[in-house]
Amino acid sequence: MHGCVSEATDRIDRGHPPSYFVLGDALRGIACLVVVVYHATLGAIQHVGGAYAADPIGAYGAFSFVALRIGSPTVYVFLALSGYLVGGPWVRAWLGERPPPKVPTYIGRRARRILPAFWLVIALRLADKGQYAFTDHQVLGTFLGLQTFYGGTQQALMPQGWTVDVEAFFYLTLPLLFLVGRRLPPLHNADRVGRRRALVGFLVLWSVLGIAVRTRTAPDGALGHSVLTLGWAFAPGMIAAAYETQLRALLPARRTLGRVAGLGLIATAILAEAVVVGFQINDGLLVAEVAHLLCGAGFVGGALVYEWSGAPIPLALDNGPIHALGRWSYGIYLLHITVAQHLLQDVPADLGPRGVLVYLLAGTAIITTALAAVMWRYWEEPWLDWRWPWRPKDKLARRVGPTDLVQGAIPETPAPTADEVAR
């Protein structure tokens, strides 16, 4: 008991409320940097050309062998995080633990979180790169999050934007699922256990069907990049939210078990990434889709279980720069390809292939992070706080809600009764 109290005190001393998902920022920031490394490495290979472009996987030896495949499973960490942070309030409402979010407020906050930055970067790319082969209607569709319906070959305007599109549709799907589920006759009088079983059963079914469809269609096509087939990517976070109350009550008394279970889940995620990288498995294959699922579930679920057990969080993953990186990760994700493309236009002529790689990796990471920090401070955060950029935020009451994807804050869950814990 003394250890649990000390850890709770330590979390408060570090500036975190008890319900804060501390490792969420680290997961977002590290996953984002992995994606930057992937695109920068690919850009360097394409710029050098010749034998490097003919064999991109072996272009830079073990480094390119890892860099060009590790980004594929890692990107699903973002979606699993959204399943927990954004889907969590709806899960808790479904279980009767708290009232559901007010739909207008929820939609407004979600829109302010992702659309202003998304629209800004698309506008910058249009001004800088033109429309590519897009028609005016397709450009408008890109602003509306419909780019994934154009297929993998029609996404040059925002190549990485497919995840934003999928997340936007997931945000809209959540209240619809809640409203439909609440009206199903068999669940009218169900208790919390019955509702949780129904929810988990639905998420498992959604996941199985989604993986089955993605293995039979183009994974980067309109259907493959849709919320219909990617429900499995959000499911781990929602399932974690469904069992959060019980685990928060049980794990602190079993800290060693919780710590081992959390680290075991994280190890499973690392193993899943190793399988994808080691065997160079392409998206759309059954083993790849399962590995992607395990990666998101392992990292997010493992981090949550580890925290809920009350185990101490290493300072290396809980410090100012890491939390800042988590806040800036969305901007980094949106901006890094544009920054890399500009850097490739001015590559020093005397750089060899390895010099190009170092130049592009370092330049993209440093410049993108700096730009993302500015965009967060003067564009993203003001929209989220609903204030003018030049107004100091400390003069306003910050409205941090349970669906704040950036802060990772979640509402306190009510303490379970002895009967609920037994269940």
Q: What angle do CA 33, 36, 38 make, to 5 degrees?
A: 115
Q: What pLDDT score was predicted for residue 183?
A: 85
Asked if residue 391 is part of any domain, the answer here is no
Residues 63, 55: Cα–Cα separation, whole Å: 13
Q: What does the pLDDT look like over 124-139, one tens digit per residue?
A: 988 887 767 777 888 8
Same domain, 271 and 362: no
Q: Does residue 304 lie in a domain region? A: yes
Instruction: Supply the pTM of this predicted model.
Output: 0.88
Say whether both 303 and 319 belong to one domain: no
Average pLDDT rounded to a whole number, residues 352-358: 94
pLDDT more than 90, % of the chain: 66
Same domain as 381, residue 346: yes
Same domain, 372 and 249: no
Q: Which has the higher per-residue pLDDT, 364 or 190?
A: 364
Give the residue with greater pLDDT, 147 vs 109: 109
Say yes or no to pLDDT of 410 above 80: no
Domain coverage including residue 192: 81-311+397-423
The model's pLDDT over 225-254, given as tens digits with 9 standing for 90+, comes to 999 999 999 999 999 999 999 999 999 999
Residue 56 class from Cβ within 10 Å (0-12 exposed, 13-18 middle, 19+ buried)? middle
Q: What is the DSSP letter of 183?
A: T
Tell me whether residue 128 is in a domain: yes
Confidence (pLDDT) at 411: 36
Rounded Cα–Cα distance for residues 391 and 349 (Å)? 45
pLDDT at 14: 54
Say if residue 401 is in the same domain as residue 377: no
62 and 176 together in one domain = no
Confidence of residue 197 (pLDDT cuts 50, 70, 90): very high
| Whether residue 184 sits in one domain with residue 113 | yes
Q: Is the pLDDT of residue 12 over 50?
A: no
Is 393 a residue whose pLDDT tops 90? no
Phi-psi region of 177 (alpha: psi -120 to 50; beta: other; left: phi over 0): alpha
**Maximum mean pLDDT: which of 157-161, 188-192, 262-266, 314-318:** 262-266
* 299 falls within a domain: yes
The pLDDT of residue 18 is 65
Q: What pLDDT score does 211 carry? A: 96
Encode pLDDT of 94-115 as tens digits.
Answer: 999 889 999 999 999 999 999 9
130 and 34 in a common domain: no
Q: Are residues 170 and 235 in the same domain?
A: yes
Residues 130 and 253 both lie in one domain: yes
Q: Are residues 268 and 302 in the same domain?
A: yes
408: left (phi over 0), alpha (psi -120 to 50) or beta: left
Give the mean pLDDT of 141-148: 86
pLDDT for position 188? 73
How many Å apart are CA 423 and CA 193, to the nearest integer? 7
Does 2 reside within a domain? no
> 9 lies in a domain?
no
Mean pLDDT on 72-82? 94
In a domain, 53, yes or no: yes
- What pLDDT does 61 receive? 94
Is 11 inside a domain boundary? no
34/139 same-domain check:
no
The number of folded domains in the chain is: 2
